[in-house]
Structure 1
Amino acid sequence: MRATRRLWRWRSNPLRRREDIVEAWIILAVWVVVVVGGTVAGVVTAHAAADMLAQQRARRHPVQAVLLADAPPMTAWAAGGQVRESVRWTAPDGTSRTAWTLVDGGQKRGARVVVWQDDRGRLAPQPTSRAMGAVEAGLFGTGAAFLVAAPALGAGAVARARLDRRRMARWDREWELLGRHQGPRTA
């Protein structure tokens, strides 16, 4: 019985108001949504992201390609020292393919470069490593948890602010009634 009273602080308080009980239920509901909903959303999103990244690793393969033209020298604005140039490689079905991709700048025509292709032989970005995939999945999960928690916390804060305004308006009415019975104010 004592534990119940400690957990539910407004249960036997003679000064409790209806707004206090509503506020207690709002706080309880918000925390249930934040803890349970945020956890579920985070775990589901992290697992989905990890599965997607694992599928990418399974479906993308490195292949040797040949540079078809001299790559321009690296420039200050080149992303990671790489420039866009045309390469040729052999697809899984044995056909020769040509496309543009990022290669290290300054390489000569005929140089061998490693490119990544998907199962259909199309160029694809290098897949995320297992370690980086785990980090990314964790970040996606954390983001999903915050996306569930933020609206719940915001709605709870708005509801509590409205309850506070109702309490203050009620106190103002009560003080006004009390003031009429006490006589004129002196200050």
Structure 2
Amino acid sequence: MRAISGLWRWRHNPLRRTTDLAEAWLALGALLLIAVAAPVAGSFVGTAAQDALQRSVRAQQQSRHLITATVVRKLGDAVPEPAPDAPLGQDPRSRVLAEWTSPDGTRQHGPALSRLTSPHPGDHFTLWTDAHGRVVARPLDSVTATTHAVLAGFGAALLTAGVVEGARRMIVWRMVRRRYARWDQAWDRAGPDWGKAGTGS
């Protein structure tokens, strides 16, 4: 809006310089480009991210299995770092040695993170494994994937707007530098005669 009002203000102003009009047109062009290019870029990136993440969701849901494990014994007293895929407020609380049967039927045992507050031998808890019984992170769900895709789209739109505005500011900066250089040249030419009687006559 400021670019449009700037163009109108400089339209018939006798003090208007060529660079003033160029800056106003540049601001208007940047505004229109942001209004068009930023949403298009955001939509494109968001759609691409959604497709890729939903494929990942389907692949993870097919390759990861929720199984029931049995506690053999507790490992250590320190509470481990929460798993990156654990929801807030539901962080694993204890590290245990556990046994479980993998989806391919083989018996497995090893350390695992349990949400049991005070695990005892024989207690049961669930964990995610791959087809061979190796412990893996919980699969990505569709809602989380969509949230990541939307954030990626917003990020791309903001980045596009930032690039356009940055380019506009860089061009204006160079125009101002050239204007100052021309002023310096004009002052250099007028300097020796400045203030003398008859200067400019």
Question: Do both share a fold (TM > 0.5)?
Answer: yes
1:68 aligns to what SS in structure 2? strand
1:50 CA drift (Å): 3.3
Give the aligned length. 178
1:35 CA drift (Å): 4.1
Change in Cα spacing, 1:39 to 1:182, as seen in structure 2 (3 Å) is: farther
1:62 CA drift (Å): 0.8
Q: Which amino acid aligns with 2:53?
A: A
Aligned to 2:22: 20
Aligned to 1:55: 59
1:113 CA drift (Å): 0.8
Change in Cα spacing, 1:39 to 1:160, as seen in structure 2 (3 Å) is: farther
Moved more, 52-61 or 105-114: 52-61
1:181 CA drift (Å): 10
Q: Unaligned regions of 5+ residues in structure 2, if any? A: 83-90, 197-201
* Cα pair 1:30 1:156 within 8 Å, conserved: no
Q: Which amino acid aligns with 2:151?
A: L
Aligned to 2:112: 101
TM-score, normalising length from structure 1?
0.68
Aligned to 1:137: 149
Change in Cα spacing, 1:68 to 1:146, as seen in structure 2 (3 Å) is: farther
1:125 CA drift (Å): 1.1
Aligned to 1:40: 44
1:69 aligns to what SS in structure 2? strand
The counterpart of 1:159, out of the listed 171, 177, 189, is 171
CA RMSD of aligned residues (A): 4.0
TM-score, normalising length from structure 2?
0.64
Moved more, 94-103 or 107-116: 94-103
1:87 CA drift (Å): 1.8
Q: Which amino acid aligns with 2:30?
A: I
1:44 aligns to what SS in structure 2? helix
Aligned to 2:199: none
1:144 CA drift (Å): 3.9
Aligned: 1:65 with 2:59: no
* Cα pair 1:74 1:82 within 8 Å, conserved: no
